[in-house]
Amino acid sequence: MLSVSGLTKTINGQQILRGVDLQVAETETLVIIGRSGSGKSVMLKHLMGLMSPTSGEVHIEGRQIVGLKERQLLPIRKTVGMMFQGCALFDAMTVEENVAFPLYEAGERDRKVILGKVADALDSVDLTGHEQKLPVNLSGGMKKRVALARVIIARPHCILYDEPTAGLDPVVSDSINHLIRRMQKRFGVTSIVVTHDMKCAAHVADKVAFLHEGQIYFYGAFDALMASRDPLIQDFIEGRSGDTD
């Protein structure tokens, strides 16, 4: 479904990614974990073609996307949805307009059809009744749900989640984790979740990749990660910085 090989990225002389290789099978959920600044979000943007790598290849459904021009990437991106860390909702639009946006852009003009699909999408994320609210009037968790509804309404084959639980309280985070799992089961989508929230990883991961200093340091099942005796992985899991008071 999605693969990356030899991906490197240098920004302002700083090497962010140093030869990343990854493969994600269809309907699989891969969780990419790592410390802040390890290159997780940068890698996610490369998977969408939102950033160009310094070198390496990215394949979406067998098609190499590196080197394609912006207009050539547009149809490919419609098969992959992305939920941004800050949600990236259009702040001048209501919840309904935000969720309807991909349908409208796909050429759907029948208002009844649009409203029906919007209602379904909002129902999927337990957000019925908030259609006319503006993003500014939503809580962090609600914004994440709207962002997810906007992604799933376009029926992508793959969904990329950038820190889906960042900034949310544990209860709302848990509900977002359930939603990610539900989307995977209900729509059979391939998912890539970038997070540093171990609870989120535990809940949604089929496979885990631990990104450290721009390289995949560990790749495998979540249980294998937890059983690892590697001090770097242990420190990350247990949240140890090594600093003293």
Partner 1 sequence: MLILRYIGSTALSLFGYLGELLFLMLESARSIATTPIRWRLTLRQVLEVGFRSQLVVLVTGAFTGAVFAAQTYFQFHRLSMETAVGAVVAVSMFRELGPVLTGLMVAGRVGAAMSAEIGTMKVTEQLDALRAMGVHPVDYLVVPRLIAMVISVPILVGECVGIGIAAGQFVAVQLLGVSEVYYVTYMRKFTALRDLDITLTKGFFFGILIVFVACNEGLKTKEGAVGVGQATTNAVVTGSLIILIVNFFLTMVLNIFFPAGV
Residue ranges that bind partner 1, judged by CB under 8 A: 45, 48, 50, 70-71, 73-75, 77-78, 80-82, 84-86, 88-91, 101-102, 105, 150, 154
Under 8 Å between Cβ of 20 and 219: no
Minimum distance of partner 1 from residue 180's CB (angstroms): 17
Q: Whose Cβ is closer to partner 1: residue 34's or residue 135's?
A: 135
DSSP 206-229: SEEEEEETTEEEEEE-HHHHHH--
The residue among 2 and 154 lying less far from partner 1, judged by its C-beta, is 154
DSSP character string of 5-61: EEEEEEETTEEEEEEEEEEE-TT-EEEEE--TTSSHHHHHHHHTTSS--SEEEEEET
- Rounded to an integer, what distance in angstroms lies between the CA atom of residue 38 and that of residue 71? 30
Evaluate the CA torsion angle 43, 48, 54, 57 in order and state its sign: positive
- Smaller CB distance to partner 1: residue 83 or 168? 83
Closest to 209 measured CA to CA, from 53, 28, 8, 9: 28
Instruction: Map residue 171 onto helix, strand or coil.
Output: helix
Residue 78 CB, nearest distance to partner 1 (Å)? 4
CB of 202 to partner 1, least distance (A): 27
Min CB(240)–partner 1 separation in Å? 31
Please, which residue, 72 or 234, has the CB nearer to partner 1? 72
In the bound complex, what is the minimum distance in angstroms from residue 201's beta carbon to partner 1? 23
- Give the residue with the Cβ less far from partner 1, 142 or 225: 142
